[in-house]
Structure 1
Amino acid sequence: MYKIPGHHHISMITKSAQATNHFYRDVLGLRRVKKTVNQDSPSMYHLFYGDLTGSAGTELSFFEMTNAGKTVRGTNAITQIGLLVPSLESLTYWKKRFEQLDVEHGDITTYAGRAALPFEDTEGLRMILLNNNGEAIPEFWSPWEDSVVEQEHRILGMGTTEITVRYLERTAKMLQEMFCYVEVAHSEKEAIYQSVAGQAFGEIVLKQLEGPSEKPGRGSIHHLAIRVKNEEELRYWDGVVKERGFDSSGVIDRFYFQSLYFRDSNGILFEIATDGPGFTVDSAVKDLGKELDLPPFLESKRAEIEAKLQPID
């Protein structure tokens, strides 16, 4: 039986690639590790930010949709991204940094049993910094030494992801029975599940909320991707997804990884993605994120694609 070793990446909608680039690189101190396009709609940017190489579990990705309207918040949506920082002192550092840079943020609080600092990006995307408190992180996560953030307070990678649903037990059942997530807390309208015991880098908080579904727009979360090691494991999970009665996209070669997509019974879009080959498959580590990289099947259309994209720093 295979198990899910944590989050892989999470993907959002942005109206402005330029503004997103500034916030995640110059405010949060993440590295832009890949500047590419949406492979299903190559007229839009697809930007990835993370650690030195964009390791699985550190990747925040953005589709630029220049006509994106305002998100109307509601249920049946992925509603918050947790990002791990090294210590409680790091939260104090980030609170001061957010104050200096005029970033929308709250006070230091507690979330999913950890000291935490909620904040939003310029498009209202809800995030929360979580104290990792010196706990283990995946050994392949590698810090980016050119980050504008001081070394001892840099964001490590993805932590607890929050999903809000109309019918909590439906998504809970899927996580537990399909993917062997373990329930570690449960109240009337909230539960916490972990793919790796005791670790936030594979943790999901489910919240129950009645009412209309979220209307996605700028600053909304498109999907959550969870990790598998290789294609063999991915094909195993493809079989499990189909056996459970969910519609699977089947295995898709995304060049930087292979993956599949499915929606659970609350309509939440999940991706299952392989760790490799990774973003260095077509770029040296020192050059990651600098130029527009295209998968081989789009290379012949480079001139046409570039003509439709606005340059970004």
Structure 2
Amino acid sequence: MTIATNGLHHVTAIAGDPQRNADFYLKTLGLRLVKSTVNFDDPGTYHLYYGDEAGRPGSLMTFFPFRGAPRGRQGTGQATTTSFSVPEHSIGWWYRHLESVGVEVGRIQNRDGEDVLTFRDPDGLVLSLVAHPQGDPRAPWDNGIVPAEHGIRGLHSVTLSVSREEATFGMLNKLGLNLVSEQENRFRFAAADGGPGSFVDVLVTPREPEGLVAAGTVHHVAWRAPDQPTQATWRAELAESGVRPTSILDRQYFRSVYFREPGGTLLEIATDDPGFTADEPLLELGRALKLPPWLEPSREQIAAGLPALNLPAENNPEELPA
């Protein structure tokens, strides 16, 4: 196998009310809405993408918000925690900030030499902020809501919960990830040279029930491919090894291939290109509803069925920080 992902591309989850979702990720976590579009497979609901100022791969958390969606159940066969990277000195600031806006937070823990602060979003999705002792060179979205010195740098890791580990370990190895640490029933794998944005933790919980994907749970986890030819090669290698990947799908801002790892979690390989400025300027990212060409004839009908989203002015400043 020649597959060697550089790390996480994005994590996609299910939410309930879209305005509540946007308020939390924009105002509480200080991310930027870099694309407002729809679920291409179910255009009656939004697909909202949050990330750094340009929505770079590795910074992205995305949502399908279904109004009135029932709560899901976290369990095996899912990504059960999504973690963001923050500066090492910022965990205390985040603890106070989250408490001040009414978010219930757990105690700060130290795991693998990293401080970890765990909490839930308004739909119950489990999130954590992680401070890596070697730091994270990625720049935050400097929006004036969360101070840049404390801002989220991007994704840090995801945690997959499985009832049995061997087959999942094998799949991660196929993707080019290697086991780098082990603590009781938690196993950390890293892509490339490791560091924030490259990690996946496998939590082995044989007595836990299977998860149920609905509001407050992760739908899928995407890994990076540098370009479309590389993605096509990797897809062919997965198919030859007995995995059943989908065809390559056009998601406008990247190309996608989906498949399930043996533990049950839906995975994706997503290309780094073409990116979110493919159909709107950097300054205007997320401001307007963007549709793929095949849905444009139905724009009026689709837009009428979607609730309005009120975005803070900081999402689209007149100038971006230098």
TM-score strictly above 0.5 = yes
2:94 is matched with which residue? Answer: 94
CA deviations on 1:124-160 (whole Å, 9 max, x unpaired) are 11111111335354xxx55323240011000000002
* 8 Å contact from structure 1 (residues 104, 121) kept in 2: no
In the alignment, what sits opposite 1:196?
192
Structure 2 counterpart of 1:300: 297
Query: Is 1:167 paired with 2:164?
Result: yes
**Corresponding residue number in structure 2 for 1:235:** 232
Q: Displacement, 1:190?
A: 2.1
Q: Report the RMSD for the aligned CA atoms in angstroms.
A: 1.4
Tell me what 2:32 maps to.
Answer: 31
Contact 1:9 1:57 in 2 (8 A): yes
1:226 to 220, 223, 230: 223
Is this contact kept in 2: 1:46–1:63, CA < 8 A?
Answer: yes
CA distance in 1, matches of 2:176, 2:50: 29
How does 1:1-313 map onto structure 2 within 5 Å?
Answer: 1-87=2-88, 89-137=89-137, 141-176=138-173, 178-187=174-183, 189-210=185-206, 211-313=208-310
Structure 2 residues without counterparts, runs of 5 or longer? 311-322
Residues 1:182 and 1:169: Cα distance change in structure 2 (over 3 Å):
same
Q: Assess, with a 3 A threshold, how the Cα gap between structure 1 residues 142 and 277 changes in structure 2: closer, same or farther.
A: farther
Provide TM-score, normalisation by structure 1: 0.95
Letter in 2 for 1:93: W
Residue deviations 1:201-236, cap 9 Å, x none? 110000111242111221100000000110011001
The total of aligned residue pairs comes to 308
Q: Is the 8 A contact 1:158 1:201 kept in 2?
A: yes
Alpha-carbon distance in 2 for matches of 1:120, 1:5? 28
Percent identity of paired positions between Structure 1 and Structure 2: 34
Secondary structure of the structure 1 residue equivalent to 2:23? helix
Match of 1:110, SS? strand
- In the aligned structure 2, how far is the partner of 1:12 from the partner of 1:77? 11
Equivalent-residue separation in structure 2 for 1:142 and 1:54 (angstroms): 12
Under a length normalisation based on structure 2, what TM-score does the superposition of the two structures give?
Answer: 0.92
Once the two structures are TM-superposed, the CA of residue 76 in structure 1 deviates from its matched residue by 1.3
Contact 2:36/2:49 (<8 A) preserved = yes
Distance 1:66 1:101, change over 3 A: same
Inter-partner Cα distance in structure 2 for 1:196 and 1:136: 15
* Structure 1 position 189, deviation (Å): 2.4
Counterpart AA for 2:182 = H
**SS of the residue 1:81 aligns to:** strand
